[in-house]
Amino acid sequence: MQVRRFRKGVPGCDECDLENVRAEIQDDTLLWIDTDEPSDEERDAVTEQLGLEPIVVRALTNPQPERTKLLRYGRYFHVAVHDCEYTDDFRSREIDVVMGPGWIVTVRHPDDDGKPVDLEEVLHRFELQRTVHPDGDEGFLLWALFDVVIDRYFDVTDVVDERLNQVEESVFDPGTPREEIPKEAFALRRHIAEFRRAAAPMREVVNALSLGEVPFVGEVVQPYFRDLYDRSLRVLDFIESQRDLLAGLLEADLAVISNRLNTVMKKVTSWGAILLGATLISGIYGMNFEHMPELTWTFGYPLALGTMLLVMVVLYVVFKRKGWL
């Protein structure tokens, strides 16, 4: 657990002890308490110093999959943000944020691989804003966090676009095994649905912050949150367009399969018709009646074979010109 102290009008930050957090909370100071795996002692110290509710402490230490929403508990607020990453597979990592007047607590929960979110970029962007707004409040730190998370949403949409291009090439590539395409498409559709569940609620949170529903987020930072709101809407537009495109690719795959099935049926029908003429002649002469024409003729057998071959050649030429073979 790391406790950073930012003084208004003073560049940079320094660290302070967790036991002195309550004394450090002043009008000209912002405290950022950040951790990824808090121990029981650190959890109890933060709870005592900031007076957190037990329900908030449970949310910080035992995260449950839930919708991103801004919750108020007296003088402070809690929101669970979902950071998303898409490399070989889609992953979502939760960041619990508790903010009050003069302080912010962030708990970065690791994903299945045990890797929490790196917030160094958040610190960098916050420091840049402090050079422009030296008297800025904790709203700029919260903006920097949301700004980084939404930027990563755009990175995910770029990866989804690449996967959609791969699926599109597979759909229209005749050499691709057809059983592989639905597997890739349905996996991508599942990832898009998971991404939408993580990203969609973000617009409600940033909209609430842009409208001043959090008292200690000042008016100077609210336009920045309005920009984040517009960008979150763009992310959702990308997601919806990608879902529609994926649905169209699945329909195109079904159409390609149907066309290939029609081609196979044409070939099977053509070869069946070609063999039907020869089968008809051989069937007639295989009925073993005593009085049948040409049975005693020397050239009857070659004539029957020649007729079969002629019928087959004629039918083959006809179907070949029609494009069925």
Portion of the chain with pLDDT greater than 70, in percent = 93
∠ CA 300-304-305, nearest 5°, is 120
Distance CA 69, CA 152 (A): 19
Predicted pLDDT of residue 178: 62
Tokens representing 110 are: 């690791």
What digits encode the pLDDT tens for the residues 218-238?
888 889 999 999 999 999 999
The full DSSP string for 175-240 is TS-TTHHHHHHHHHHHHHHHHHHHHTTHHHHHHHHHTT-STTS-TTTHHHHHHHHHHHHHHHHHHH
Q: Residue 107: enclosing H or E segment and its boundaries?
A: strand 103-108
Domains within the chain, CATH numbers bracketed: 2-256 (3.30.460.20), 264-322 (1.20.58.340)
Cβ–Cβ under 8 Å, residues 63 and 96: yes
Distance CA 9, CA 50 (A): 24
What digits encode the pLDDT tens for the residues 78-103?
888 899 988 888 888 888 898 888 88
Distance CA 94, CA 107 (A): 8
Q: At what angle do helices 180-199 and 222-284 cross, to 10 degrees?
A: 160
Cα 101 to chain centroid distance, Å, stands at 35
- Interstrand relation of 14-15 and 29-35 (parallel, antiparallel or unpaired): unpaired
Residue 5 predicted with pLDDT over 90: no
Residue 230 β-bridge partners: none
**Ramachandran area for residue 24 (φ above 0: left; ψ -120 to 50: alpha; else beta):** alpha
Distance CA 124, CA 151 (A): 14
Tokens 């003088």 correspond to what residue? 75
Predicted pLDDT of residue 180: 65
What digits encode the pLDDT tens for the residues 258-307?
877 887 888 888 888 888 878 887 777 777 766 677 777 777 778 778 88
Predicted pLDDT of residue 227: 93
Instruction: Share the mean pLDDT of the chain.
Output: 83
Predicted pLDDT of residue 176: 66
What digits encode the pLDDT tens for the residues 138-185?
788 899 999 999 999 999 999 999 988 888 888 877 766 666 677 788
Cα 175 to chain centroid distance, Å, stands at 27
Q: Mean pLDDT over residues 99-113, rounded?
A: 83
Burial of 210-225, coded b for 16+ CB within 10 Å and e otherwise, reads beeebebbbeebbebb
- Alpha-helical runs (H) found in the chain: 21-24, 40-50, 54-61, 120-132, 139-171, 180-199, 202-210, 222-284, 300-322
Tokens 């939760």 correspond to what residue? 94
